[in-house]
Every structure is written in structure tokens, then in C-alpha cells.
Amino acid sequence: MKLLSTVFFMTAAIAAPLKYDANDIMKKNEAARKLTQLQASGKIVIDGGSRKRQEKTFTWWRQLQPDGVHYNTLTKFHTPATVKDQAILFLEADGDKTEILMWLPTFKKTRIVESSQQNGSFMASDFSFSDITALQNEEYNYAGNEMTTCPNTTTPKTLQCYKITATLKNPKSAERLGYSKLQLWIRNDNHMSDRVHYFDQAGKLFKELDSTQITQVGKGSYFFNHLHMKNLTNGQFTVLEFSALNSKTAIPAAKFFKQRLGKDD
């Protein structure tokens, strides 16, 4: 009887689902995403649904602010000619204090993307302006204790992911972000996201982001070379590709000065 009890206990322990603390996993995710600085070449491909395929190229700079949490990000477009020299500057801050400014060379003026407009399309893509900013853990409550096979078909089938639900601490943030809830699959090997589901303000799933081709760019830090955002309501999708990643060359702080937006280097 004692032997049977021992065998039963061992079997139950093996079969029991792995428990984890969602907040701890997301802290590890934040650490894995943390970059002091990064410069890269990029391409954005917009396709699917009833749209005509579009392709745009750009240079991308990102730098961690002194608070060690928020980032400054500058994107400068090169092609096609209709967007040549257009630039978008993201100055992240807590909540709705994030500033987004667009340099429009045709008009030689800077447009401010107001907080209420940050859920709008980024360069006619399926990414919103708020999607381009870094996920800020302080804005969310995290929950979940389920571990499952990572859903992204481009990752090894044996790879396991922590399945985590993220809800906004401040419901008013849903208008700015364009969604009310996230479902995240966080890889257990490097704690980067494998897939993210976005739920609109009515609680309906409407976008899906797959992240692949991860590159290590520092000790314990990673970056995605390939991001695929799909609009599940109309079949449209956008691919963001990054190449020539450079985390070594210093980026001057002046690169992100508002008064320099639109000026040649």
C-alpha cells in the first residue's frame, strides 16, 4: 500500500501543471527586452485583404532613457519617394504622457500625435503608434499559471511558453492604446514573446502578433528581426523586418531632441 501511495504521488506530481508567477515572468521578459541602445535598418511590408502591397524602408534608432524603463525611438523613412525623409519620434513616458511627433518634409512642419490618436495606424500599417512603444509592465495586471506549447509555427514544436493575460490597471488607457486586454505567450528559453493577442475595447480578439528570428544583442538582451501583425477582422497584415543591428556604436542624445526632428545629421 505504501508503494502504491508513493507511485500515485509521483504520478500526480508529474501530471500537475507547472505553476509560475505571471508578474515574475513579465519582469524577466522586460529584462530580456531591455536595450541600452540600438540602431538598425528596417523594412515595413503592408499587404493582405483588399489592399495593394506597399513596402517602405527606414533607419531606426532606440535608446534607453536615464530612468531605465522608458525609451526614445526615432524612425526615418527612405523609400518610397512619397515618404522619403519623413521621421517619427517617440518619447516614452508614464501613461498618456508619451509624446509622438511626426516630421512631414513636404510641409516642412512637425505634427503632434495626440494621446487620443496614438491608437491610430502607424504609417498605414496594422501596427498602431502605441504598438511601436515598448510594453510597460507598470500599466498592467498580469495573471496566469498555464504552460503550453508555443503557438508560433516558426518556433520548435518542443518549445514551451508561459501563457499570460495582461489587463490594464487604468481602463481609461484602453482608448489611447486601442485595446483592453492582451494574451501573451512568453518563451521559457529566453523570456521573449512568441505571440500576442490583442482584444479591443469590447473584449473581442482583433489582432495577432507573431515574433520570430530573435537575435541576441547583449548579455541577456534580445531583439526581433521579424514581426508579423495580422488583423483578424479583415485579413490584412503587416511585416516589420530589421537588419544590420548595431548595439555597439554610441547614439548621441541629440538624435532624439524634438528641435532636431527633420534636420539632416
Q: Write the pLDDT tens digit of every residue in 161-219.
A: 999 999 999 888 998 899 999 999 999 999 999 999 999 999 999 999 999 889 999 88
Q: Which three cell numbers stand for residue 111?
A: 505634427
Q: What is the C-alpha R_g of the chain? A: 20
Position 243 confidence tier, pLDDT thresholds 50, 70, 90: very high
- Long-range pairs of 115-122 with CB within 8 A, sequence gap ≥ 24: 115/176, 116/175, 116/176, 118/176, 118/177, 118/178, 119/175, 119/176, 119/177, 119/178, 119/179, 122/88
Q: Say if CB 226 and CB 23 are below 8 A apart.
A: no
User: Could you tell me which of 147, 142, 146 has the C-alpha nearest to residue 165?
Assistant: 142
Whether 4 shows a pLDDT value over 50: the answer reads: no
Tell me the per-residue pLDDT of 91-136, one tens digit each, with 9 for 90 and over. 999 878 999 999 999 999 999 999 999 999 999 999 999 999 988 8
Between 234 and 13, the higher pLDDT residue: 234
* 193-199 and 181-187 strand pairing: antiparallel
Unique residue bearing C-alpha cell 528559453: 189
Question: Can you count the helices (H) and strands (E) in the chain?
Answer: 4, 13
Residues in CB range of 135: below 8 A, 6 or more apart: 29, 30, 33
Beta strand 71-79 with 181-187: parallel, antiparallel or unpaired? unpaired
pLDDT confidence of 29, banded at 50, 70, 90? very high
Q: Which of 11, 29, 15, 258 is nearest to 162 (CA)?
A: 29
What is d(CA 180, CA 142) in angstroms, rounded to the nearest whole number?
13
Looking at the DSSP assignment, which residues form a beta bridge with residue 37?
63
pLDDT band at 16 (very low <50, low <70, confident <90, very high): very low
pLDDT for residue 3 is more than 80: no
**What is the pLDDT, as a whole number, of residue 133?**
92
Superfamily assignment of 28-248 in CATH? Lipoprotein localisation LolA/LolB/LppX (2.50.20.10)
Residue 154: CA count within 13 A, CB half-sphere: 12
DSSP 121: B
Mean pLDDT of the chain: 90
In which residue are the cell numbers 512642419 written?
A: 109
